[in-house]
């Protein structure tokens, strides 16, 4: 898509340009053929070093753009970004892609839907009623249980087990809203990457990234009915018990353990090797390791126990 | 079904009647060809104005019935209502209905089960392993992702996206219980109506109404793994993040925003344009707008923050 | 598998033995042809009376073994147990089993996958996209809604309703971990037993036992999006509302009622006929009956209400 065309779509005037735009991305990650946006002034530092070909931006912030980066000036950058995202969304199917390739020794039920462009490794088992979307890649020795849905462009490693009803790569929860409370979908044009030796529980949902990838790293163990939001990264050997949830863009360090029904807010970083009791609600970055937390808002586990004891005494007075 | 026959089923004596009964409903909504019930004396005012042909009722309350309304006197009205609900339950399939009708430009996977009597609009996409129950109606431009189940009689609008594994119109959680703790199913004979431009997340469940409809209004956005109980109404442009839950019969006003893992008790009314932080547990009606709430039981968000700070200090003393 | 062979696999030396081992089990439940393990000294009393043919054990505990019980001495018994569990895991399919048997009057959609060795009773309905695993037995008059997955060896009674997207018998969440935080899967070689007249909600997940059975007893009612961990027992006529969760090995007595989003920790026993308000987190055994609880950690419901009121006053001072 030509930059010129994009400017017209968004109703911006730009100096004529025939730059070819291949996608959208964050200020930090955008390449010279991508468009970015700034919708929140807290990202202002990231404007100055962005490599994006153009940025969807408010008039007030234009002065911060680096030289050569085209300003697409709009009133509501987030809304305009949402509008544009549609044009970069891939189709659901890839009718012109090559037929799926299935590795030696793999056993795929005839009741599986295997979309074009997908590549399945060796010695995999894929059971009935699974849907494998376009351009999905699955490694060797991986088992996909019945009724799993894998959206297009997902990458799944070797020796994984994806249990029944799990959904890999569904759309992240993204939209812009206006003052009347109406919403415009932000198309989720990234994907999900699941590394080797990962186990995903029944009916767990792992959303695709808006840009880039949601990543479940090597050896992670996710129980049933867990939600992993778009652009999360679940660290190596991390463990989460049933019904826990990870809001978008949180980075969970290696070997963290989350009890059942726990939750992590969005855009947080959790250092490795901590434990979070059942129902913990993590609301801030965790920079230490080797600790146990509990409560909501979360705190040291022992402190939480003390507070509960104190409360019980309070009421008996 | 004749009223006479119903009386026999429930073991009541009535003056001979050949009134034809077409269904069951609440006291408030019952028409002159429907039966209602009163199982809780707090609904006593609604008896007096009911249009129901007959009411399943305790002997003690019969005097409140309006003239012409037949009393079906039983010892345990709720249990008897449950017993009767079975006779008004439609069959799972409609073998005599017309074959499904599919609008122009719609793309339905051959691995979809499209029950008789269903009508699909134009330019829809329905992916593999979806089940579309009898008499379902789907509008134009709607996308149904893999492994979605749509129970019979559901109505889905234009421009909707129902993500993988979602269940639309499953039975609400209804039963009568006796003193021994045994249960009798209340058949859920209503349906689900989803209006235009609604997005439903992966593995989210929206229960059909016991009578009437569970309604998801125009522009609403429901994330993954959400529960919407029977007879709820989710307002226009309302937003709910992952793993939140709405107990039966709650009415959520326009543009409310619910954080992840939040919950709303049954039979509540929430005024429009409020925000509920993650994990909020809403236990009472909300009559104000423009506020932010948190905690369980819920309170003003700032008050909740104060309490949390106070608790932390308490324990340090 | 010969005991000798198992010893070699685990790198233990034993006096030559040709005892044939048929499976693994807990110290308490192991038969004379099974192997057990002790990974936690709190089970030391159970060693003395175990009937197991052999026990995977630390050198320090060997002296407690009863006479005739073979010691398989390893450094990390839990890890070795996990390693061994793989060898007793049944294959996903039973290609040599008899074709499925379907009782009179049952209606099975051609879009169902019915694995070998399964037996379906009379007058059942099984809708499209259901997967019924090997050697599953289903009673009479049971309805299985679309997109349900039933893993192998499950047993389902008469007059049950399993709603759309539910997963019965998925792997429990079991693994051993080493000091580097890496995990080794404990194969879940037990099953799920669902007795008569049980209703299971949409997208609810009930995990198979690691050894023995996870049991849902007669008349129980589970709502949507509920998690039941491996080796739980849900009592007769027990009720759980949506999004509640039961961690592994908890025994829930008859007619308990759990509100939405409640949770029960692992290895607990709950006496019959109690009520747990929404969001209750049960952290200890309950030995009384007829009570109502709330809060997390849980307490008497009235006490919880008092504490909430006190907190609100505290902050207003």
Provide the 3-class DSSP secondary structure of residue B7: helix
Q: Is residue B317 part of a domain?
A: no
The percentage of residues in chain A with a pLDDT greater than 90, rounded to a whole number, is 91
CB contact under 8 A, B205 and C312: no
Which residue in the set A147, A161, A237 is minimally distant from C131, CB to CB? A147
- B199, two tokens: 């997005």
On the question of pLDDT at A92 being above 70, the answer is: yes
Are A164 and C170 inside 8 Å of each other by CB?
yes
Average pLDDT, chain A: 96
Shared domain check, A80 and A109: no
Which three-class secondary structure string do you get for C216-234?
ECCCCEECCCCEECCCCEE
Selection from A184, A227, C202, A260 nearest residue B228 by Cα: C202
The H or E element containing residue C45 is: helix C44-48
Active site residues of A: 230
Looking at the domain assignment, is residue B309 inside a domain? no
Instruction: Provide the pLDDT for residue C46.
Output: 93
Say yes or no for a CB contact (<8 Å) between B173 and C109: no
Same domain, B69 and B131: no
Contacts of C315 in chain B (CB under 8 A): 303, 306-307, 310
Neighbours of C160 (CB within 10 A): 23
The pLDDT of residue A143 is above 80: yes
Chain C: residues touching B (Cβ < 8 Å): 109, 111, 125, 127-129, 143, 145-147, 161, 163-165, 199, 201-203, 219, 221, 223-225, 236-237, 239, 241-243, 254-255, 260-261, 273, 278-279, 308, 311-312, 314-315
Q: Residue A253 domain-assigned?
A: yes
Structural domain of A189: 101-303
Residues C139-186 have pLDDT tens digits of 999 999 999 999 999 999 999 999 999 999 999 999 999 988 899 999
Give the pLDDT score at C41: 85
A110 and A229 belong to one structural domain: yes
Q: CB neighbours of B158 closer than 8 A, spacing ≥ 6?
A: B121, B139, B140, B141, B142, B196, B197
State whether C225 and A223 contact (CB < 8 Å).
no
Give tens-digit pLDDT for A17-26.
Answer: 789 999 999 9
Question: Could you tell me if B199 and B81 lie in one domain?
Answer: no
- Give how far C53 is from chain A: nearest CA, Å: 32
> Do the chains contact at A149 and B164, CB–CB below 8 Å?
yes
Please give the angle made by the CA atoms of B121, B125 and B130, to the nearest 5 degrees.
100
C181 vs A315: CB contact, 8 Å cut-off?
no
Facing residue for B173 by CB, picked from C201, C219, C255: C201
Structure token pair of residue A273: 């090797």
B304 phi and psi angles, rounded to 5 deg: -60, -45
Q: For residue A120, what are the CA distances in angstroms to A94, A152, A198, A220?
A: 17, 13, 16, 21
Least confident range of A38-42, B120-124, C208-212, C267-271: A38-42
Instruction: Check which CATH number belongs to the domain holding A183 and give it.
Output: 2.160.10.10
Q: Residues of chain C whose C-beta is under 8 A from some C-beta in A?
A: 92, 111, 113, 129, 131, 147-149, 151, 165, 167, 170-171, 173, 175, 177, 180-183, 185, 203, 205, 207, 225, 227, 229, 243, 245, 247, 261, 263, 265, 281, 296-297, 299, 303, 306-307, 310-311
Distance from chain centroid for Cα A270: 16
Which residues from A are below 8 Å from B163, CB to CB? 167, 170-171
Q: Tell me which chain B residue has its CA closest to the CA of residue C304.
A: B297
Give the rounded percent of residues in chain B with a pLDDT score beyond 70: 100
Q: Which of B125, B147, B161 sits opposite A131 (nearest CB)?
A: B147
Rounded Cα gap, residues C150 and C133, in angstroms: 6
Residues from chain B that touch C106, judged by Cβ atoms under 8 A, are none
Overall average pLDDT of the C30-43 stretch: 93
Mean pLDDT of C264-285: 98
Contacts of C312 in chain B (CB under 8 A): 299, 303, 307
Residues C51-95: tens digit of each pLDDT: 999 999 999 999 999 999 999 999 999 999 999 999 999 999 999
Tell me which residues of C are annotated as active site.
230
B316 pLDDT higher than 80: no
**B313 belongs to a structural domain:** no
Give the residue among B136, B71, B140 at the shortest CA–CA distance from B103: B140
Which residues make Cβ contacts (< 8 Å) with residue A73, sequence separation at least 6? A12, A57, A58, A59, A62
Q: Do residues C249 and C163 both lie within one domain?
A: yes
| Residue A142 and residue A55 share a domain | no
Say if CB B78 and CB B98 are below 8 A apart.
no
Would the CB atoms of A173 and B127 count as touching at under 8 Å?
A: no
Q: Does pLDDT of B181 surpass 90?
A: no
Residues A43 and A134 in one domain: no
In a domain, B315, yes or no: no
Assess whether pLDDT exceeds 70 at residue A12. yes
How many alpha carbons lie under 13 Å from residue B303 in its C-beta half-sphere? 18
Which residues of chain A lie closer than 8 angstroms to C147, CB-CB?
129, 147, 165
- The Cα–Cα gap between A30 and A73 comes to 18
**How many structural domains compose chain A?**
2
Report, as residue numbers or ranges, the catalytic residues of B: 230
DSSP state at residue C159: S
Better-predicted residue by pLDDT, C293 or A14: C293
d(CA C209, CA C23): 14
Distance in Å, alpha carbon of A311 to nearest chain C alpha carbon:
7
Q: Which of B309, C294, C304, B259 is nearest to A297 (CA)?
A: B309
Distance from CA of A27 to the nearest CA of B (A): 26
Q: Where residue C50 falls among pLDDT bands split at 50, 70, 90? A: very high
Preferred mutation among A245, A264, A267, A294 to probe B, highest tally of B CBs within 10 A: A245
Interval A143-161 mean pLDDT = 98
Instruction: Name the packing angle between helices A3-10 and A77-85 (round to 10°).
Output: 120
Which residue of A lies nearest to C185 if distances are taken between CA atoms? Answer: A199
pLDDT at A317: 61
- Supply C252's token pair: 């829930």
Query: Looking at B88, B111, B128, which one is the last position of a domain?
Result: B88
| B317 has pLDDT over 70 | no
Give me the residue from A147, A223, A278 closest to C147, CB to CB.
A147
pLDDT-derived band at B180 (thresholds 50, 70, 90) equals: confident
Residue C236 lies in a domain: yes
Domain membership of residue B135 (yes or no) is: yes
Contact C181 A255 (CB under 8 A): yes
Residues of chain B contacting C148 with CB distance shorter than 8 Å: none
How far is the CA of C159 from the CAs of A307, C122, C123, C140, C238, in angstroms? 48, 10, 10, 6, 16
pLDDT tens track for A58-86: 999 999 999 999 999 999 999 999 999 99
To which residue do tokens 């003052």 refer?
A179
Query: Which pLDDT value is given to residue C40?
Result: 87
- Summarised one tens digit per residue, pLDDT across range B149-177 is 999 999 999 999 999 999 999 999 999 99
Residues of C in contact with B306 (CB under 8 A): 315
Q: Give the chain A residue whose CA is nearest to the CA of B313.
A: A307
* Cβ neighbours for C60, distance < 8 A, ≥ 6 positions apart: none
Q: What residue in A sits closest to C302 (Cα-Cα)?
A: A315
Tell me how far apart the alpha carbons of residues A185 and C144 are, in angstroms, rounded to a whole number: 35
Q: Which residues of chain A are within 8 Å of residue B254 when distances are taken between CB atoms?
A: 181
In a domain, C96, yes or no: no
CATH of the domain at A81: 3.40.1390.10
pLDDT at residue C312, as a whole number: 80
pLDDT of residue B152: 98
Q: Which helix (H) or strand (E) holds B3?
A: helix B3-10
Q: Residue A311 — pLDDT band, cuts 50, 70, 90? A: confident
Tell which of C40, C59, C88 closes a domain. Answer: C88
Interface B-C: count of C-beta contacts within 8 A:
129
The shortest C-alpha distance from C6 to chain A (Å) reads 24
Residue A189: per-residue pLDDT: 97
Distances (CA, A) of C272 to B185, C197, C256: 21, 19, 6
Contact B224 A227 (CB under 8 A): yes
pLDDT score for C222: 98
Q: Which residues of A touch C261 (CB under 8 A)?
A: 261
How, if at all, do strands C292-294 and C299-300 pair? Answer: antiparallel
Size of interface A-B (CB pairs under 8 A): 128
Same domain (yes/no): A198, A263: yes
The answer to whether residues C123 and C150 belong to one domain is yes
pLDDT higher than 70, residue C317: no
Chain C residues with CB under 8 Å of B170 CB are 145, 163-164, 201-202, 224
Residue C314 has pLDDT above 90, yes or no: no
C126 close to C120: Cβ distance less than 8 angstroms = yes
Last residue of a domain, one of A28, A58, A88: A88
Paired strand residues for C125? C107, C143
- Asked if residue C198 and residue C246 are part of one domain, the reply reads yes
* Residue in B closest to A165 by C-alpha: B165
Is C149 within 8 Å of A241 when comparing Cβ atoms?
no
Are A25 and A125 members of one domain? no
Would you place residue A180 in the very low, low, confident or very high pLDDT band (cuts 50, 70, 90)?
confident
pLDDT tens for each residue of C178-223: 988 899 999 999 999 999 999 999 999 999 999 999 999 999 999 9
Both A28 and A73 in one domain: the answer is yes
In B, minimum Cα distance to C165 occurs at: B165
- pLDDT, mean of residues A21-36: 96
């Amino acid at each position: 898509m030509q930059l010129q065309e994009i400017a017209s779509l968004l109703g911006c005037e730009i100096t004529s340009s025939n730059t070819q735009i291949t996608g959208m991305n964050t200020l930090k990650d955008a390449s010279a053929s991508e468009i970015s946006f700034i919708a929140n002034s807290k990202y202002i530092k990231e404007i100055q070093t962005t490599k994006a070909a153009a940025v969807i931006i408010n008039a007030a912030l234009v002065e911060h753009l680096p030289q050569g980066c085209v300003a697409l000036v709009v009133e509501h950058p987030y809304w305009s970004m949402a509008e544009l995202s549609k044009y970069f969304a891939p189709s659901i199917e890839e009718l012109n892609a090559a037929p799926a390739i299935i590795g030696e020794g793999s056993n795929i039920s005839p009741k599986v839907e295997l979309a074009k462009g997908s590549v399945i490794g060796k010695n995999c088992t894929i059971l009935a009623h699974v849907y494998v979307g376009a351009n999905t890649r699955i490694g060797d020795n991986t088992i996909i249980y019945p009724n799993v849905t894998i959206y297009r462009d997902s990458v799944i490693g070797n020796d994984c087990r994806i249990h029944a009803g799990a959904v890999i790569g569904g759309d992240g929860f993204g939209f812009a809203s206006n003052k009347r409370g109406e919403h415009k979908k932000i198309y989720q044009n990234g994907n999900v990457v699941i590394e080797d030796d990962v186990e995903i529980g029944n009916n767990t949902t792992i959303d695709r990234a808006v840009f880039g990838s949601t990543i479940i790293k090597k050896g992670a163990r996710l129980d049933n009915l867990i939600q992993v939001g778009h652009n999360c990264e679940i660290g190596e050997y991390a463990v989460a018990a049933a019904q826990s949830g990870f809001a978008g863009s949180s980075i969970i360090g290696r070997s963290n353990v989350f009890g059942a029904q726990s939750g992590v807010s969005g855009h947080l970083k959790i250092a490795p090797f901590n434990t979070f009791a059942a129902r913990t609600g993590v609301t801030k970055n965790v920079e230490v390791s080797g600790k146990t937390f509990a409560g909501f808002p979360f705190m040291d586990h022992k402190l939480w126990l003390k507070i509960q004891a104190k409360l019980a005494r309070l009421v008996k007075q």
